[in-house]
């Protein structure tokens, strides 16, 4: 049995960013059931939404988030998200995240669905991989943080409403970890669906663990389907995502007969909120009796497409598709859970010293439909809030950590 100050389950953006923001005097253990670089965060293509330019304002980001969520979002928490976001995104750069920039050195901000301005900080179309790689490299340099791979956490241990740690298996061998704090950053429920954009490791572990100790989950039916996953007839399981940023560059959705799908359906056209676009695609597929629709990006020249969307270009080439000459077959696919483990503004659950952040947490910022690229932002803001809360408790001497 090992004793730690803080145990974090998950090595996506939420878990890694929590670890980096914790007091350096705390002994931190980060657990992941496979390799540390495998997570939903690492698959994110689009980027991180935040107010990072003079043409933007937190009130605009707030209104876009509320509108996309059909005003079912918690207003105070959305304000917390958009107001704290820019500081956290800028902090990422100190960890070595090199966002794309214009020739004048300013951030090259992208536009995605339901955003009124360009506010997406990105690294090509592989933002998640770039961010996770930078944070993993930074975490590995911290003497107070230890990462253990291939540990499948299955149980939260507690007694008299007091969190004691976690139990699980390391390559089939039972393991036990004690900790003063436990942070769940285990992702969503992607593998509950036949087709998903999620990593194979996203199997709802965190939800199962908290239900066992008496925490009720909320809004678990609020699942977002991404409108444009690549359609491959022989695909099994995870579908390759076609980022919404491609529509931000002018790509248009068309049915199998080449007719525009979103024309006259919404004032933002193909960049309407995801739930609206997904619903329209399903209706068109039913009407045309087709298994997919198309995304037309043929207006982009090959050199620009390759520089701007290298991940998509490589994948398309590997399956014999040239997206600058042919339409890309796409279909809606299970993508993101808006519900989850209910937490307060600091990411704490009803169990003192048990926290959750990232997709596993129900923070109430997304409402009924998440605004594009607010997911990585939520990871940053709430991971920082979790770390601040734990650090604050340590400073106030509300407990004695095992390392002191």
pLDDT of residue 1: 75
Decide: residue 32, CB within 10 A, 0-12 exposed, 13-18 middle, 19+ buried: buried
Give the model's pLDDT for residue 404: 39
User: Distance between CA atoms of 357 and 393, rounded to whole angstroms?
Assistant: 18
Examine residue 400 and state whether it is found in any structural domain, yes or no. Answer: no
Report the pLDDT value the prediction gives residue 163, as an integer from 0 to 100. 94
- Can you give the residue range of the structural domain that contains 317? 225-333
Count of beta carbons in the 10 Å neighbourhood of residue 167: 16
Judge if 255 and 266 occupy the same domain. Answer: yes
Based on the domain organization, do 218 and 267 belong to the same domain? no
Other beta carbons within 10 angstroms of residue 74's beta carbon come to 17
Rg of the chain taking only CA atoms, in angstroms: 21
Low-confidence ranges of the chain (pLDDT < 50): 399-404
Last residue of a domain, one of 333, 353, 374: 333
Average pLDDT, the chain: 95
Residues 323 and 356 placed together within one structural domain of the fold: no
Number of folded domains that form the chain = 2
Which residue, 333, 348, 377, sits at the end of a domain?
333
pLDDT at 396: 65
Any domain includes 401: no
Instruction: For residues 64 and 193, state if they share a domain.
Output: yes
CATH code for position 293: 3.90.700.10
Does the residue 310 lie in any domain?
A: yes
Catalytic residues: 274
pLDDT of residue 402: 45
Amino acid 22: pLDDT: 98
Return the pLDDT at 397: 54
């Amino acid at each position: 049995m090992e004793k730690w100050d803080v145990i974090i389950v998950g090595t996506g953006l939420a878990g890694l960013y929590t670890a980096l923001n914790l007091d350096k005097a705390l002994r931190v253990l980060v657990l992941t059931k496979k390799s540390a670089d495998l997570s939903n965060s690492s698959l994110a293509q689009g980027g991180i939404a935040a107010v990072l330019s003079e043409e933007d304002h937190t009130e605009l980001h707030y209104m876009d988030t509320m509108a996309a969520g059909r005003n079912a979002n918690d207003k105070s928490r959305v304000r917390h998200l958009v107001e704290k976001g820019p500081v956290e995104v800028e902090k990422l750069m100190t960890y070595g995240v090199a966002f794309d920039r214009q020739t004048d050195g300013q951030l090259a901000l992208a536009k995605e669905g339901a955003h009124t301005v360009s506010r997406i900080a990105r690294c090509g179309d592989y933002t998640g991989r770039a961010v996770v790689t930078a944070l993993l490299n930074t975490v590995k340099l911290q003497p107070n943080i230890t990462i253990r791979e291939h540990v499948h956490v299955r149980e939260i241990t507690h007694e008299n409403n007091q969190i004691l740690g976690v139990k699980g298996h390391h390559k089939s061998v039972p393991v036990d970890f004690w900790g003063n704090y436990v942070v769940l950053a285990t992702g969503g429920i992607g593998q509950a669906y036949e087709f998903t954009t999620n990593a194979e490791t996203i199997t709802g572990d965190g939800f199962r663990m908290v239900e066992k100790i008496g925490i009720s989950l909320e809004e678990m039916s609020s699942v977002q389907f991404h409108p444009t996953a690549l359609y491959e007839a022989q695909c099994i399981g995870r579908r390759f995502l076609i980022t919404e940023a491609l529509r931000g560059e002018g790509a248009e959705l068309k049915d199998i007969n080449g007719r525009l799908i979103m024309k006259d359906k919404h004032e933002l056209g193909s960049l309407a909120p995801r739930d609206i676009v997904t619903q329209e695609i399903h209706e068109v597929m039913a009407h045309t009796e087709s298994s997919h629709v198309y995304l037309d990006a043929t207006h982009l020249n090959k050199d620009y497409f390759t520089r701007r969307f290298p991940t998509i270009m490589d994948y398309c080439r590997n399956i014999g598709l040239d997206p600058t000459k042919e339409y890309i077959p796409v279909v809606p696919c299970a993508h993101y859970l808006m519900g989850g483990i209910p937490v307060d503004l600091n990411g704490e659950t009803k169990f003192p010293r048990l926290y959750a952040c990232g997709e596993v947490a129900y923070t109430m910022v997304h409402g009924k439909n998440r605004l594009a690229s607010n997911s990585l932002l939520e990871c940053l803001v709430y991971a920082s809030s979790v770390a601040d809360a734990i650090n604050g408790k340590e400073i106030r001497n509300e407990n004695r950590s095992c390392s002191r």
